[in-house]
Structure 1
């Protein structure tokens, strides 16, 4: 448990119990352990959102958005596209991040696909033109 989030974790877990008792049963969260696990997932998501807000506030080097640059970082690439008002490219990259979830090898599969195995960028403009 993240020490700064213990109170929030308890609040969420308690809210899940209250909802289950007063509004509608939550079969997947019927035990304290299950509610605690679900609350932990909520906390992890909130932490991720906090982290991403910090990333979005910083200037992003364009090379972070280029899958063939050697320093590609898909999370920063999304922020870069958002900062440059390219919402479609940001959304496309988020879709690819979801599709090619970060395995132990990092974002290599995503980088290979988005970067056309080093032969360009399979960006939204390219993909949507072929639909």
Structure 2
């Protein structure tokens, strides 16, 4: 905390006086959000070196956890299954109360039917749509189906919408064959530099329904691929274009006004440059600014 507060204090020297963080309380509050973001990444790093129970992949199990499940698939040489489950966990997200309930219900056919793994979906995409239609009433009732996480709260639970997301995502992952082939094609196009590869994957998802039209879903998904070491990629930018919370946080930081008219594209280079001082990575800066602007004067832990 002390180290980060000290680094926040150095920002003025490069960018000029920033009234938004002139007070010690606000600097401390943002520093606490940075620490929280770093801890979330450290949690994923810790999972990578631990053993994983195969039941983590099973949506019918009480210990279903698609983050750990993705790691299990990866360790067993099933890269496409690992990436597919990462998509599932990102699309539905972990709700603050329901946790993985919605992901488990859709991935596991509400307990009555097949588990829609990558292989199962590839064999019967129409069957997946039929399963959704058959469970439309359950999907409409959040007490039965569960809810999207906060990052995905504007996504539709209508069967047609979920089916379209899965269909267009599957087309993206299999455009060149499998995910390994997608990475080979990406490296052939832009090289193997992690920032460039991240950017290429991020931009290539524009056609994925529920992801490509916005920014947060793509950023969360591609970032998670890197965090789980499913792809050698790292975000080289905070990607503020079309952002909401992170952009409001950046506006508050530089202009002391969440609603300043500056665009995300114009502000993005200045926010990216913060990492030269903070040295915590673009994802942490993006995440911490988003949460800090919600409560800039008093630390609140945000999840789900």
Q: TM-score, normalised by structure 1?
A: 0.69
2:65 corresponds to 1:82:
no
* 1:97-116 equivalence runs, <5 A: 97-99=89-91, 100-116=93-109
2:114 corresponds to 1:123:
no
Q: Which has the higher contact order (CA 8 A, sep 6+)?
A: 2
Alpha carbons 1:67, 1:114 under 8 Å: kept: yes
In structure 2, the residue matched to 1:22 is: 13
Q: CA deviation at 1:72?
A: 0.9
Structure 1: distance between partners of 2:70 and 2:19: 36
Structure 2: distance between partners of 1:70 and 1:79: 18
2:45 corresponds to 1:53:
yes
Structure 1: distance between partners of 2:115 and 2:21: 43
> Size of the alignment, in residue pairs?
122
For structure 2, the residue ranges without an aligned partner over 5 or more in a row are 122-165, 173-207, 209-304
Change (3 A) 1:29 1:106: same
Change (3 A) 1:81 1:35: farther
Structure 2: distance between partners of 1:36 and 1:15: 11
In structure 2, the residue matched to 1:71 is: 63
For structure 1, the residue ranges without an aligned partner over 5 or more in a row are 1-8
Q: Deviations 1:74-129 (Å, cap 9, x if unpaired)? A: 23113213323444444443444344232213221221122232222333452415
Alpha carbons 1:96, 1:110 under 8 Å: kept: yes
Change (3 A) 1:30 1:110: farther
Structure 2: distance between partners of 1:114 and 1:45: 28
SS in 1 for 2:41: helix
**Structure 1 segments (4+ residues) deviating >6 Å:** none
Alpha carbons 1:13, 1:35 under 8 Å: kept: yes
